Structure formats: structure tokens, C-alpha cells
Amino acid sequence: MAMNEEERNQLKETVISVLKTIYDPEIPVDIWTLHLIYGIDVDEEGNVKIVMTVTAPNCPVAEVLPGEVQQRVQAIMGVKKVEVELTFDPVWDISMLSDEAKAELGLDGDYGNYSAMDFLY
């Protein structure tokens, strides 16, 4: 049975929730917050296509992370098939981080008495 748009959007939100539990081993921030996910497409059959990158093309994690993403997303109820495409276009760089992620990593400015925990969502 084909999924309607609302069901596809719901499934996409679940995929995003799962992506927020996968961390880049080099950086203590999840791959969604790091903006390593460039695109998520859910079709009417429940097939999910994810376009992602890694922080460095020669990083050993480049071989492991897409497999982990594929495995974790495949485990979501309602997901039929998962395709993970690894891309380096555009190449990821630190400017893609959200302000929260930069703060969490201590990369910008003085946040006074805040700790990284204050920026977690």
C-alpha cells in the first residue's frame, strides 16, 4: 500500500531522530547536527535514500559510517529499503556547523557560564 505525504513525512522525521543518535567518532556531535546529511528522500513504498558525507574523505570512518546509517535506518518500522549515497560534493567543512554545534565543540566565542549541555536538544 502506497504511503501518503503525511506518512512519508512522519517516516522522514523518524529517520532524522535515528540519525541524531549516530555520532561521528572523531567529533562528539551527531551526524545530523554536524550537517553530514545532505538529503533524505522517502518514496511512497517506504524506500529511503540518504545522501551524506563524512568530515574528511580519507577518514577511516568514511567506510564505516554509511553502513551504520544504512543499518540503523533499515531497522525503522515502515522502512522497506535504504540506499545510502556517499558524496563529497560539496566537501564538508566546519562552516556548515550550526551555531549550537560550534558552541558544543567550543569553536566560537565566549559563552560565559554555559556548558555544552546547555546547547543540546
Structural domains of the chain in order of their starting residue, each with its CATH number: 5-101 (3.30.300.130)
Please name the residue that has the C-alpha cell 541524531.
Answer: 20
Q: How far is CA 24 from the centre of its chain?
A: 9
Mean pLDDT of the chain: 85
Q: What pLDDT was estimated at residue 115?
A: 47
Interval 6-30: pLDDT, tens:
999 999 999 999 999 999 877 788 9
Three cell numbers written together for 1: 500500500
Q: What pLDDT was estimated at residue 114?
A: 45
Q: What pLDDT was estimated at residue 1?
A: 74
Cβ atoms of 59 and 16 within 8 Å: the answer is: no
Q: What pLDDT was estimated at residue 112?
A: 45
Q: What pLDDT was estimated at residue 108?
A: 62
